[in-house]
Amino acid sequence: MTAAQLDERVTAFLAAHPDTSDEIGYLRARFDAGLAWVHYPVGLGGLDAPRSSQRAVDARFVAAGAPTNDPGRIGIGLGMAAPTVLAYGTAEQRARWLRPLWTGEEVWCQLFSEPGAGSDLAALGTRAVRDGDAWVVDGQKVWTSMAHEARWAILVTRTHPDLPKHRGMTYFVCDMTAPGVEVRPLRQATGEAEFNEVFLTGVRIPDAHRLGEIGDGWSVARTTLMNERVAIGGASEPREGGMIGIVADTWRAHPELRTAGLHDRLLRLWVEAEAARLTTERLRLQLAAGDPGPEGSGAKLTYARLNQEISGLELDLLAEQGLRHDEWTMRRPASVDFTTRSPGYRYLRAKGNSIEGGTSEILLNVIAERVLGLPPEPRVDKDTAWKDLPR
């Protein structure tokens, strides 16, 4: 499908749907017309069109004032769950989950990290035991964004403790309303509770909700993680978009705050942010031709470092004004928003960027081994059964 043909499809859809008062109905119709994820298969929200066409399609709907699916609220579903369901789901699973995921009718979360298995995800210990046509799951997950609003969760479990840690995992979709699922808020340095800890006690998951083969959960999880890193660090931004634009606007609006040293830091970070933006655009073009690879780790690594340095510059620029933080309420936000919050919030929240979605230390290993081809670090537990590992 050419760009012109796709544009004609959008024009015809907009003409046929002038009434946007029923937002969910409108989004369902857009999905059914193949104008949700245009690169997805026909019948699953797409038209088998090039991935690179998505931006132009989205821009047409924005210009027309069409309803949005609130991507900030359903980002985990869009960026992580959907690509995994598409890659590993059965026809029935795709048909059941992708449409309400994209329309925002069903929010998703990610049950991966555990108190003893954060950076080393493959060390996880949440157990899933087969019981007829279902699995019984017991364990604890932590740092789970949106668990307090989620209907579904992507979940990695330990099904074969006698095998080495990377080979004994199985991947499921968990109903967050099922008996035995308990969500508790985790209060953060910002004062709010954006993420949670989740306890799973005797939770029954139908085998029909398994993604991929039994014991092959690590392969499925890697698909999720690669998409997650691109989703976090690979977002499309205009020039001076994101954090650097906020600080640049503050600099222009308050000449009394300027010093030579701060000016030098701003110029350096502006150049680095622009280089990162252009590099991310190149990455997005590469993604248009295939699945995300390890290069997404570089984008996420840079995003985290720049956010932390830029938010630090903002506080130094504002001096005592930057120390104010008036948001010490137990908020339960539906998304992370850096643009409309206070400088104090941005500074504190940016600290999490080098942890969420893979710690910066792990991403450096990924880049060293899978991008630069350097020798891997020694791993003494590679061939040891998970049950025999010290914990």
Q: Say how far apart CA 191 and CA 61 lie, in whole Å.
A: 36
3-state secondary structure of 174: strand
Contacts of 50 (CB under 8 A, 6+ apart): 1, 38, 39, 288
Q: Say how far apart CA 145 and CA 334 lie, in whole Å.
A: 9
Q: Say how far apart CA 307 and CA 7 lie, in whole Å.
A: 36
Helices 243-253, 260-287: crossing angle, 10 deg rounding: 150
| Gyration radius of the chain over CA positions | 22
The answer to whether 228 is a known catalytic residue is: yes
3-state secondary structure of 221: helix
SS3 content of the chain, % helix, strand, coil (to 5): 45, 15, 35
**Active-site annotation holder among 228, 237, 295, 309:** 228
Paired sense of beta strands 169-175 and 210-211, if any: antiparallel
| Residues classed as catalytic | 228
